[in-house]
Structure 1
């Protein structure tokens, strides 16, 4: 992402199960401290040994010593908080951040160290930090994969229960619940099916469900608890057996009580309502309930987020104007309408205050969600990041003068193609115009955005009055010019979209071309004799699509064509 630093860990690491001995597996995390003086044998600071190196002729001959220092819970907590601070202001692959991430990997390279890291994330990440839950997923991704035993022991040592959730109150305990849900959800999503099944114990299920209560959605902290309980249940339900167990509870009744918060002016409650509605449409289907796309009014909406031009894990609302990501990857989307000339403007309401890169992109801009690249990370897009106070172009950032955005803020985005300018506004206050987007891109501009995990915002392409419209120039809106057919306005739930694709696939006739699936397969390739193609598609290849033999001629039902014939 413009946050390359939040790219998911790809460096090969040892599984915990590959540890060579019980002693090594139970080894506590440690660091090596370099000293200039010989250690005191009676010191309790840890084991010491000489630092051996080759010296030049004129170099000081003093012996250097390493002292092994075993880390305490407090040491790890300090490391977590300092890494979180650096992550919040880090623009690219900051060396300090990379080293700190590698320290997580080193310290968690045994079952005891792995559990100490996860417990520190639960204990130390503050509730008020907008990057806290995203940091949890990032830090866990940099740790080795746990064993089945390590997961089981970790869960049992949390001592979770429905009664415990009801008894806990206060910011510290609310923070603990949020972080536990973030850890459990990410482990369930990252690990294989047997591990995920192991995680959903009766105690865990009761603990998560006890927080999903509309009556308790009265404060920011309660709403946050409900939200992350739902996220954990969603990720656990990715395994069919887990989903079946959850569906045996009253989860659909609880979700239907919560989806009424979808349009709430309280942005924490709004997240709960959005996710509840999305889960009812896509995961936990309630008998007798209509899907939201069947009831939502989209008659006045002519431009929306494109359900066919979106990375795989981004959640879109049924009206196509709101998006949310709960995935550990960097999810992106473009809108349905592009422009080549003129002056254009749209607004975004910030629902969450974490990392999102929102701006403009062409069709050539790449969505590499698992590699952390999105809008503003190539030469065909330009983006505003209100969390880290940066603007992004070609994966390079420069700071801007706006304060960090917060929930409820309005981001305005103006594109002046005629004058080769883009302008970003926060609550009506503009930044100086930028020409970066037009260095290479010249036309075909879409509104676009990328989302770090647990982020959400709502778009206004002109179907509603703008809160802070530009006053220094006239502009057009997508909604006034674009045209969408009824089918283009329909955002199907995932299971219905898959069903439609399968029906489309089974509707292909056996005698259709295997490449375009439209024309009749009337051509045989010679001399190999392979068929199943139409004449138009056979003209696009010089080698057989099956055996790779050079095509000397093409035989149709009527005549044999020389390969060079038009």
Structure 2
């Protein structure tokens, strides 16, 4: 009897232990609930510290990491109920803290970001994350809007019902959102969130989520008495909603019903001494030129005095979403991609200098690039991310070259700072200056390129700066160095200086007559070159310099050979011409006829057939 009892006790203990282990396994496999205030020690150990991440190398802040983890259903609740998602706020702030140090494309995202992605897989979890982004991201952090964009861009697509429920919780109206979200920081963040949703759901879904209350709320924020950050991101949200034609018509109708178009008042802030107001003015002017066109208003390009401008940012050598000012010297990115641009002037010899005034203090990579440097905006690669370019990133205090970063002993830059770039081609040295304080010269770029350099820059979301190529006196010219400025040696035809609004460009392209024998890539220059060894024809010289593989058969290009009736006069080339310092970018042919016709669009004559120059 005693033995039997003892055996039964052993079996009962074993079964109890097995059940406990099974329960523990099931709990751990489901993942820990992030809505609880307590975090397990294992979860804490899996989160990298800033020190661990500071050694990482490329631009993870621009990468879109993949979300992993099992779906976790959450029970519905309101945010006001005992702050159940306080831990989500902590994860958001932790991501914001780590985002400066995450610079490696090969490394996975931090544990905090992965956890937020898992939370957002359920509808209620997605609402928790969005509300936390609105409440937690501080107004003063320069990377705040970019982090909101980054997290929302990677979260699962929300349903229309989830978005409408979000609107209900925020209580958006022309008067104000709900009291819990009425602070300046929250309203700025609401504008960023609405813009992200409009960008992510462009198309029929964007029509459904642009409700009357949302339109009225955003338009009510275009009030010059409000904080510039609230105005700016409400304006950008309207711009992104207007990517869908039905929404564009709706917003235009509402603007016409206003006693005075608020954008026309806000555009006067462009070139304001206060940089936050200047951002608003830039975006208001851009929207009036490109989206919300009003009658009897001249387009900005026609009002600019460009007589002293000989070099500008190249509107034909730019990634798709970058905005360029009508004077060609200011650029801004409001897209979730990493947008880049080169200038119109190429240098092959001598010592050259240009300056950039920062209007925002977020992530930008500014420096030098050749034509071989690629703009991979959706992959997050820009200037300094290949062997043909080098850049300065003052937000994260890094120098970029070949997709690798090197820390620098300079403070973080801020709005109003001036970044100077000095290039000594013969001496094979490149020097960066921040407000006149220089870094040690660098020669790494010359290991792969000896000529054909352009001023260039890449922009993360919501960043803006102004370029001075010498049309104005430099603020911090290098001392004891004789240098040249682009503007003294560059030249642009009058038609090359025109930065046309995008809808006018599209109208011209739709009606443009392509010349017989034109290049099959740019449809502008004469196709008088063929590629060796594949012998495919139909390209102009400028376009052949921008490709390494034949666009027809993908064969590596060994030579670019000019077609000629006399074989003795045909020439072979592998590099750009070394003589001279300025180049004309592809597409800069005589378009005077097109511009004159396009000007009729100002008066609303968009129905008239537009013809290209005579062939």
**TM class by shorter-chain length?**
0.7 to 0.9
Q: Which residue of 2 aligns with 1:205?
A: 215
Q: Which residue of 2 aligns with 1:159?
A: 171
Q: Which residue of 1 aligns with 2:403?
A: 395
Q: Which residue of 2 aligns with 1:142?
A: 154
Structure 1 pair 482–168 and aligned structure 2 pair: CA distance change class (3 A): farther
Aligned to 1:487, what secondary structure does the other structure show? helix
Number of residues of Structure 1 aligned to a counterpart in Structure 2: 472
The answer to which of 280-289 and 250-259 deviates more is 250-259
Counterpart Cα distance in 2 of 1:514 and 1:448 = 26
User: Deviation of residue 322 (structure 1)?
Assistant: 0.1
Counterpart Cα distance in 2 of 1:367 and 1:514 = 22
Counterpart Cα distance in 2 of 1:520 and 1:475 = 36
What are the Cα deviations for residues 342-389 of structure 1, in whole angstroms up to 9, with x where unaligned?
Answer: 100000000000000000000000100000000000000000001011
Q: Is residue 60 of structure 2 the alignment partner of residue 5 of structure 1? A: yes
User: Deviation of residue 3 (structure 1)?
Assistant: 5.2
Listed as ranges, the matches of 1:227-246 within 5 Å are 227-246=232-251
Counterpart Cα distance in 2 of 1:183 and 1:468 = 39
Aligned to 2:176, what secondary structure does the other structure show? helix
Is the CA contact 1:280–1:286 (under 8 Å) kept in the aligned structure 2?
Answer: yes
What are the Cα deviations for residues 522-559 of structure 1, in whole angstroms up to 9, with x where unaligned?
Answer: xxxxxxxxxxxxx9659x9xxxx99xxxxxxxxxxxxx
Counterpart Cα distance in 2 of 1:464 and 1:93 = 39
Q: Is residue 134 of structure 2 the alignment partner of residue 129 of structure 1? A: no
Counterpart Cα distance in 2 of 1:124 and 1:482 = 48
User: Deviation of residue 190 (structure 1)?
Assistant: 0.7
Q: Which residue of 2 aligns with 1:180?
A: 190
Q: Is residue 309 of structure 2 the alignment partner of residue 289 of structure 1? A: no
Q: Is residue 494 of structure 2 the alignment partner of residue 486 of structure 1? A: yes
Q: Is residue 483 of structure 2 the alignment partner of residue 471 of structure 1? A: no
Aligned to 1:370, what secondary structure does the other structure show? coil
Is the CA contact 1:13–1:144 (under 8 Å) kept in the aligned structure 2?
Answer: no
Is the CA contact 2:58–2:404 (under 8 Å) kept in the aligned structure 1?
Answer: no
Is the CA contact 2:88–2:116 (under 8 Å) kept in the aligned structure 1?
Answer: no
Aligned to 1:397, what secondary structure does the other structure show? strand
Q: Is residue 457 of structure 2 the alignment partner of residue 449 of structure 1? A: yes
By percentage of residues, which structure has more strand?
1
Counterpart Cα distance in 1 of 2:98 and 2:149 = 16
Q: Is residue 437 of structure 2 the alignment partner of residue 429 of structure 1? A: yes
Root-mean-square deviation (CA, aligned residues, Å) is 3.0
Q: Which residue of 2 aligns with 1:438?
A: 446
Q: Which residue of 2 aligns with 1:66?
A: none
Aligned to 1:89, what secondary structure does the other structure show? coil
What are the Cα deviations for residues 258-303 of structure 1, in whole angstroms up to 9, with x where unaligned?
Answer: 1111010000000011011111100000100010111101110000
Counterpart Cα distance in 2 of 1:287 and 1:347 = 37
Pick aligned residue for 2:131 from 119, 128, 144: 119
Structure 1 pair 424–162 and aligned structure 2 pair: CA distance change class (3 A): same
Is the CA contact 2:383–2:456 (under 8 Å) kept in the aligned structure 1?
Answer: yes
Structure 1 pair 486–514 and aligned structure 2 pair: CA distance change class (3 A): closer
Is the CA contact 1:168–1:174 (under 8 Å) kept in the aligned structure 2?
Answer: no
Counterpart Cα distance in 1 of 2:286 and 2:173 = 27
Aligned to 1:444, what secondary structure does the other structure show? coil
Pick aligned residue for 1:260 from 268, 276, 286: 268
Task: Normalising by structure 1, report the TM-score.
Answer: 0.78
User: Deviation of residue 4 (structure 1)?
Assistant: 2.9
Q: Which residue of 2 aligns with 1:56?
A: none
Pick aligned residue for 1:87 from 99, 113, 138: 99
User: Deviation of residue 93 (structure 1)?
Assistant: 4.1
Q: Which residue of 1 aligns with 2:570?
A: none
Q: Is residue 228 of structure 2 the alignment partner of residue 223 of structure 1? A: yes
Counterpart Cα distance in 2 of 1:398 and 1:197 = 45
Aligned to 1:319, what secondary structure does the other structure show? coil
Q: Is residue 350 of structure 2 the alignment partner of residue 309 of structure 1? A: no
Counterpart Cα distance in 2 of 1:427 and 1:536 = 49
Is the CA contact 1:5–1:98 (under 8 Å) kept in the aligned structure 2?
Answer: no
Counterpart Cα distance in 1 of 2:497 and 2:268 = 23
Pick aligned residue for 1:274 from 272, 282, 287: 282
User: Deviation of residue 518 (structure 1)?
Assistant: 8.5
Structure 1 pair 267–205 and aligned structure 2 pair: CA distance change class (3 A): same
Counterpart Cα distance in 2 of 1:269 and 1:353 = 15
* Higher relative contact order (Cα pairs below 8 Å, separated by 6+ residues): 1
User: Deviation of residue 487 (structure 1)?
Assistant: 1.1
Structure 1 pair 6–286 and aligned structure 2 pair: CA distance change class (3 A): same
Q: Which residue of 1 aligns with 2:117?
A: 105
Aligned to 1:88, what secondary structure does the other structure show? coil
User: Deviation of residue 148 (structure 1)?
Assistant: 2.0
